[in-house]
Amino acid sequence: MAQGQVVSAYGIVDPRRGRVQVGVNPHGEKVNMGSITEMRTRLTTINAGYYTAARLDAMTLNDLVYALKDSVTK
């Protein structure tokens, strides 16, 4: 029986974790990925000095997802 999750909810593989997702989930921000507005709000909360309105306007959906994923693994 499998003891770990190989595929993430967003189809993003974190090669630093090997085949099986263990320990800290790199997608721990999943609850904040319901909409673009939620992602922008969460990134602003994490670091308002870096994630300014202009920077967020220039980011794609993929950029937002990876920024949230990166905030969990740091």
Write out the chain's pLDDT in tens, 74 residues. Answer: 344 555 555 666 556 555 555 555 555 566 778 888 988 999 999 999 999 999 999 999 888 888 888 876 55
Token representation of residue 30: 């999943």
Supply the pTM of this predicted model: 0.61
Q: Which residues of 41-69 are buried (b: 16+ CB within 10 A; e: fewer)?
A: ebbbebeeeebeeeebeebeeeebbebbb
